[in-house]
Amino acid sequence: MKPRVWLRQHGIVVLAGLLAMLAVLAAQVLGLSFGERAWLLLTDSYARAAPRVWQDAAVKVVDIDDESIRRLGQWPWPRTDMARLTDRLTGAGASAIAFDVVFSEPDRTSPAALGEQLRRQGAGAGAIAALTALPDNDAELAKAFARAPVVAGVFLLNDRAGPALESKAGFAIAGSAPVSGAPRFARALTSLPALHAAAPGSGFVSLAAAEDGIVREVPLIAYQSDALQPALSLEALRLAQGAGAITLKTSDAGGEGGGGSGRMVAVKVGQFEVPTTASGALTLRYTAARPPRTIPAWQILSGELAGAELERAVGGSIVLIGTSAIGLRDLVSTPIRQREAGVNVHAEALEQMITGQFLVRPDWASGLERSLVIVLGILLALVLPRLGAVRGAALGLGLVAAMLGASWWAYVSRGFLLNPVWPTLALVLVYLIQTALVFYREERRRAYIHSAFDRYLSPELVRQIAASSERLELGGEDREMTVLFADIRGFSRISEGLGPRELIRFLIGFLTPMCDVLLGRRATIDKFIGDAILAFWNAPLDDPDQHVNAARAALDMAARLDALNRDPAARGADLPWPGEVRIGIGLNAGPCCVGNMGSAQRLSYSLIGDTVNLASRIEGLTKYYGVTIALGSALAAQLPQFALVELDRVRVVGRDAPEAIFALIGDEAVAAGVEFIALRDGFAALLTAYRARDWAGAERAIAELSPGAAAFGLGQTLELFRSRTAALALDPPAEGWDGVFAATEK
């Protein structure tokens, strides 16, 4: 196809795809939240599938867990216990001791505090003096802090403004000051002034959770009243090395990080350089199981872990003291676990800084991802109209799988965070919009076929022809079907009394509600033969309830006609209506051949077969027997729950085999009625006597049925058998008589 012709046919579709690609590109540049949330969920799945392999990085956690509280008493413990814990860790050779705990209030168990309680209770002055002479618990802890490499914890808050906290660490900045992304806080909550002053180091313990409450990164620096503060983990690493200043490297130092100023790139402390996000955070890669870094606090304080064994456990290690006890509420959610102790998050950060197992976002990642949005979006927009929906979907899925595979490989093997979400969104949006446009165009073509043919064919058949043009071929298929013929009684008399236009209006007013009933019961309307209707079930679509649907449709048609006869408003007051209109309905079920019948020039979707012919003859017999609805034995066998009465065995015109025909009186509710059951049994007794040549028994059955037969529309049938029985009683039939009535009219 020439390019000009191809563009004329598909230009709008291609343009729509390109606009979709540009929309995704704009959302990517603006950093809209839905794409970022999807990326976070994807990285969480990576974290669960490929967690960091734990290596012993000389980082230990002393955990104030539920068992420690059970053994040593409720929290907070006396500060003398914390001093004893600090001294034992110092004596065992811990390189740094970082408290993920803030001692912001005086110890209530200090001797002075206890003496004050005794004084209020009226205790003797001697006991009070003895208590107050003892050393203060907080002072003892401050002494322990002063003789140990302790990092005191600090909470950074934004609830109100507070004075600037002087950092114990110095900062050197390579590049511009990190003003663009580092978090800012208004106030610092520290331990008691004596404790904070005694500790050689201090660091904030606040963790930054994302909007969904999951901690995926740890901020390493933050501003508090324009003063830089280090994180607990970063300060512990500085103190353990005996390093001086912490060096902050920003994006304009050496042209890293994509240029710009004030964007954090890395933090250097001692011999370790740690890559960071633009806000100065370390992206965490969590370990899967809980590694052997944790020591319960009770083991150290009780002396169970002491001496050489304690030295082997913590000697030369950075020790973090925190809590995993549920009641102390220092639990956070991570991609790996729903409830993780905050102190373990700090430990994970320290391990990564020491072992160099980082997750980094390369400075070229954004450019690559935007290029993929453009290139793949244009590619799919151009080739999808040629490939079609199925092959285009296969191409799109292949491209998405390749990007996901590359992103996964980069995560696992290189620790790179490459985001395939935006290119994937571009492919999906281009595919959906272009496919929707093509679908809309095809639907318009099908709508044209509908508008041209649905006044001539059944709606379902038109839909199938529009979906599959091969259905226009001649031929048929064998199916088990249910067939309905309906005809107006005395139509010749009605035609004689109405003009041509009035007759057409009357037929429209009659046929429209009848067709509404049939279509509502899933019928396919084959054709109108003057005033007659031919409809069937189970073609062109399967209908497992065809027999019940046909029976209910016939009953509904009779009920609808009664309503039209009774109420002029129901049919339209100006509609010509020739008095009481009655119909006969014949039903039958069995095998038929259904399909496109006719000639090569003109087709008609119809059906043929003995089942159809018999249904037509049964409809004709409704006039003879005076019933509204009659059906054949094959259909009657499928409707045991309906109110059916056997009328007779008839040999119809053009058919040698006799057929038992039944009157359809009503639905399941009628069938359960006492009066109907008596009527049905009475007719069965009548037919038994009649076929056995028991004329007297037949006359008794007729007499018993006479009072109620007319109420069920069987009065004329009963009179037929009355006259037949009387005639046969006077002139009995010859030997071999089978009781079958031979119809002489169609």
Q: Per-residue pLDDT for 658 more than 90?
A: yes
Give the mean pLDDT of 489-505: 89
pLDDT score of 260 more than 60? no
Give the pLDDT band of residue 6 (cuts 50, 70, 90). Answer: low
Contact residues for 684 (Cβ-Cβ < 8 A; gap 6+): 646
pLDDT at 730: 92
For residue 410, give both structure tokens. Answer: 């980069």
Would the pLDDT of 456 be above 50?
A: no
Pairwise CA distance, residues 631 & 649, whole Å: 12
Architecture of domain 468-639: 2-Layer Sandwich (3.30)
The pLDDT score that the predictor gives to residue 695 is: 94
Measuring CA to CA, which residue among 595, 294, 417, 316 is closest to residue 46? Answer: 417
Can you spell out the DSSP letters for 698-716? HHHHHHHHHHHHGGGT-HH
Looking at the chain, the whole-number percentage of residues with pLDDT higher than 70 is 89
Q: Which of 126, 139, 239, 146 is nearest to 192 (CA)?
A: 139
Count of H-run helices and E-run strands, the chain: 25, 27
Span 279-316, pLDDT tens digits: 889 999 999 877 789 999 999 999 999 999 999 999 99
SS3 call for 735: coil
Q: Nearest CA to 422 among 19, 22, 17?
A: 22
Q: Where in the chain are the domains?
A: 3-49+362-432, 59-355, 468-639, 669-746
Residues 130-172 have pLDDT tens digits of 666 677 888 999 999 999 999 999 999 998 888 989 999 989 8
Q: Which of 372-386, 552-566, 597-611 is the least confident region?
A: 597-611
Q: How far apart are CA 589 and CA 606, in angstroms?
A: 15
Cross-strand partners of 203: 153
d(CA 52, CA 62): 22
Q: Bigger pLDDT: 501 or 466?
A: 501
What is the average per-residue pLDDT within 475-498? 90
In tens, the pLDDT along 506-546 reads 999 999 999 999 999 999 998 888 889 999 999 888 899 99
